[in-house]
Amino acid sequence: NALRQGSETREWTYLTKQGDSMPVTLTVTPILDDAGKLTGFLGVAEDITERKRMEKMKNEFIATISHELRTPLTSVSGVLGLVLSGKLGGVPEKINGLLETAHRNSERLAHLINDLLDIEKITTGKVNLDMAVQPLRPILEQAAEENRDYGAERHIKLALNSEISRQNVKVDEQRLKQVLANLLSNAIKFSPDGGIVTVEASSTDTDITVSVTDQGPGIPEDFHHKVFQRFAQADSSDTRQKGGTGLGLAITQELVTRMGGTIQFETTAGEGTRFFFSLPLISAAEKAPSDLSPKTTDGSSTESPKILVVEDDPDVASLLRIMLEDAGYRVAICHTGAEALESIQAESWNLISLDLMLPDVSGLDIIRRLKKQAATADIPIVVVSAKVNQGRLELNGEADNIAWLAKPIDHQKLIGLVRYQLSQGGCPTILHVEDDPDLHDVLSAMVRDQLSLERAGTLADAKRLLKQQAYDAVLLDIGLPDGSGWDLIPDIESAQPGAAIVILSGEDIGKEAPAAVANVLLKKQLTSEELVRVIREQI
């Protein structure tokens, strides 16, 4: 390589006379005579011990920011959001304004910290992209909607003009939203009062181009070559007034490039700036995932609820299977009561669709048996029968959590009842393994009517509780005082194999999660709705 390229530089580890390791960069250059013939090589080694020490300090500093700043900030922002939501009761208007200011600034601080962490991960190649084929337009619409309130605060209107309808791109949905949020927030910040920020999208046979245009002052010509550099700011004093680290566009360029695209800009002094990026157009043959398929927080598909259909008529059973699978559920069929009871004992089911008129066991008897056993008492049931009224009268309130649907089957009513029943299950008990009690209190308050969270502050506490009590799921932090959360997974699988494992981390976990992990959530992106949805999907 050195001969072909003229020189080559690599990092090596040398051993000193004392036997100590010393990191060096070794540059090898070929030596040629006047005729161009190779006569030897020159090697120059540079001691980079100090540089490595500084890099280690930087990495430790980043880790400190992640844990020591981000976790308490999540608690602060969560508490403020909870109070402002009105779930804890109303607050005086004067105090409400102060709370909104505090909440807005806590989110701004979180955004700045996230920028620092993101640029570090991108630099070290630790950003994991979850690439999936999906339609672009819904992502654009959601990004515009999420930034509309920010624009309204600054009296800026957002306009979405899109020529695309169902064209697909292969992207990491959350990272693409981050790209759009960076471009939109910049455009809003530098637009004049009453201005308009326009989002446009158009496509060719091979690419889709998305642009964000503002009506701001434009970018000075002498700054054009620095636009995508880290910490670069065209007018430091003005940027400090607007807020920002100078990292947003650097992160944006890196993410667009990692997703296979390119980004550029056009600007005119006194008229505004247009940033635009292009992504490869995915052919119709590569279909996007179904909208009915449940999603994880990062956009990837997750397994949908399992439904057991108990129906003796093969044609009706097939019809129910088609309707339910079309709605995104996993379905199995039993044609007799005995088969159903055996299947219910052998497997876990999220819901049972039950006919009352079975050849061997009455559907009502099956209901009574299930409700008498603790392991099956809380399984939601949808009775699909020609004798709904008779069944209701005969059961006479002996069991709850049952929905009734008369034959012939109405497709929309069936799916509506199934969705309702799945959302109305009992309050699941969750073991929350988290060393920060304030964050636990915030999450408990956020989901108090829908999930019951019990905290274990250490691995030792978690192992003890897993042996003493039954849990529907384990919400697991990775960084704990006495070890890593990853080390707890074998104990969970051994003590409670039926419990779903959901990782709740302060930052991207930076590696592929073990197969036992049902989902990974990020504290910075978490909402009560998201947490409840993910937990209920997994149990």
Are 316 and 361 within one domain?
A: yes
Domain membership flag for residue 454: yes
Q: Give the tokens for residue 135.
A: 């339609």
Residues 6 or more apart whose Cβ sits within 8 Å of residue 278:
207, 208, 209, 210, 261, 262, 263
Point out which residues pair with 278 in neighbouring strands.
Answer: 209, 262
Is the pLDDT confidence value at 76 over 70? Answer: yes
99 lies in some domain: yes
| Residue from 422, 510, 439 nearest 480 by CA | 439
Weakest mean pLDDT among 305-309, 336-340, 384-388: 384-388
Residues 6 or more apart whose Cβ sits within 8 Å of residue 431 = 454, 456, 462, 465, 466, 469, 471, 473, 474, 475, 499
Report pLDDT for 356. 92
CA–CA separation, 158 and 196 (whole Å): 6
Nearest to 309 by CA among 381, 403, 391: 381
Question: Are residues 267 and 142 both part of a single domain?
Answer: yes
Q: Please report whether residue 296 resides in a domain.
A: no
Q: Position of tokens 């620095």?
A: 226
- The answer to whether residues 467 and 517 belong to one domain is yes
Same domain? For 174 and 209 the reply is yes
Range of the domain at 483: 429-538
Mean pLDDT across 179-205: 88
Instruction: Indicate the range of 64-78, 190-204, 333-347 predicted with least confidence.
Output: 64-78
Instruction: Compute the distance between CA of residue 406 and CA of residue 383 in angstroms, rounded to an integer.
Output: 8
* 382 and 405, same domain (yes or no): yes
Helices (H), ranges, 89-247: 93-124, 136-153, 173-189, 236-242
CATH code of the domain containing 202: 3.30.565.10
| pLDDT at position 284 | 47
Q: In degrees rounded to 5, what are phi and psi of residue 5?
A: -95, -10
Q: Which has more pLDDT, 310 or 449? A: 310
| 28 and 15 in a common domain | yes
Does the pLDDT at position 326 exceed 50? yes
Query: Is the pLDDT at 239 greater than 50, yes or no?
Result: no
Boundary residue ending a domain (124, 147, 174): 124
First to last CA, the chain: 56
The verdict on 79 and 144 lying in the same domain is no
CA pair distance 530, 78, nearest whole angstrom: 14
Confirm whether pTM is higher than 0.85: no
CATH number of the domain bearing residue 32: 3.30.450.20
Residue 60 lies inside a defined structural domain of this protein: yes
Whether residue 214 sits in one domain with residue 160 = yes
Of 3-12, 184-193, 236-245, 319-328, give the lowest mean pLDDT range: 236-245
For residue 42, tell me if it sits in a domain: yes
- Least trusted range by pLDDT, from 92-96, 157-161, 209-213, 230-234: 230-234
Q: CB within 8 A of 423, min separation 6: which ones?
A: 536
Q: Are residues 310 and 269 in the same domain?
A: no
The tens digit of pLDDT for each residue in 392-427 reads: 778 876 777 788 887 778 776 788 778 767 765 556
- Which residues on neighbouring strands pair with residue 160, listed in sequence order? 199
Q: Which of 60, 91, 124 is the last residue of a domain?
A: 124
> Do residues 508 and 522 touch, judged by C-beta distance below 8 A?
yes
Q: Is residue 301 part of a domain?
A: no
Residue 136 and residue 120 share a domain = no
- The residue among 242, 263, 280 that closes a domain is 280
Residues comprising the chain, all counted? 539
Structure token digits, residue 119: 């640029």
Both 468 and 379 in one domain: the answer is no
Same domain, 263 and 356: no
CB–CB of 162/137 below 8 Å?
yes
The CATH number that applies at residue 449 is 3.40.50.2300
Q: Which tokens in the block code for residue 514?
A: 């073990």
Domain count, the chain: 5
Higher pLDDT, 136 or 309: 309
